[in-house]
Amino acid sequence: MLQNKTAVDTLITKFGGKKGALIPLLQEIQEIEGYLSNDSMRYVAEKTGIKLAEIYGVATFYTMFRLKPQGKHVIRICKGTACHVSDANSIINSVHENLGLEKEEDSTADGLFTVMEVSCLGCCSLAPVIMINDDTYGKLTADSIANILKKYN
Ligand code: FES
């Protein structure tokens, strides 16, 4: 089910039929829907005549597209050079441990958190850094994670 069919229809009208429009169309749909669901990709195929396989191919090729819903809070863990040398791996492990996530999982079952690794958050002097939604936390240690996560529910 599309959450915001009217807005998606407006986007399809805006981009429909334009060459090279599939990526920006999918980006904007993701912005309003939160992710690209099978339903939204099917809907785009139906409305634009673009083959579903092509849409799915684009959506799975580019890492900017999310195919699953995001948690209420998004945790971005920096793995850029400055953070990497400041032991970002221990931060990643601690976040996963505190959330009870396996290594390959990125979202908690209760829909509260989604974890993603990013290449730089633009505040390298604070390494290692994470962001939770719009809040930045720097100079972290693995032990500091539990208290930070408690603030979000
Ligand atoms: S490398 Fe982590 S904030 Fe830049």
* Highest CATH level, class, for 73-150: alpha beta
> How high is the pLDDT of residue 87?
96
pLDDT tens digit sequence for 10-27:
999 998 767 789 999 999
> How high is the pLDDT of residue 20?
87
> How high is the pLDDT of residue 36?
95
Expressed in angstroms and rounded, the spacing between residue 69 Cα and the centre of ligand 1 is 26
pLDDT tens digit sequence for 76-89:
999 999 999 999 99
β-sheet bridge partners, residue 130: 77, 137
> How high is the pLDDT of residue 98?
97
- The secondary structure of the chain as a DSSP string is --S-HHHHHHHHHHHTT-TT-HHHHHHHHHHHHSS--HHHHHHHHHHH---HHHHHHHHHHSTT--SSPPPSEEEEEE-SHHHHHTTHHHHHHHHHHHHT--TT--B-TTSSEEEEEES--S-GGG-S-EEETTEEE-S--GGGHHHHHHT--
Expressed in angstroms and rounded, the spacing between residue 15 Cα and the centre of ligand 1 is 35
Residues 109, 59: contact at Cβ < 8 Å? no
Residues 36, 26: contact at Cβ < 8 Å? yes
* Residue 2's pLDDT band (cuts 50, 70, 90): confident
Expressed in angstroms and rounded, the spacing between residue 75 Cα and the centre of ligand 1 is 14
Q: Which of 91, 116, 121 for mutating ligand 1's site (highest number of atoms within 8 Å of CB)?
A: 121
Whether residue 1 has pLDDT greater than 80: no
Kindly report the protein residue whose alpha carbon is nearest to atom 1 of ligand 1.
Answer: 80
Pocket around ligand 1 at a 6 A CB cut-off: 78, 80-83, 120-124, 127, 129
pLDDT tens digit sequence for 101-117:
998 888 999 999 999 99
CA–CA distance, 120 with 105 (Å, rounded to integer) = 21
Expressed in angstroms and rounded, the spacing between residue 115 Cα and the centre of ligand 1 is 16
Domain boundaries, the chain: 5-61, 73-150
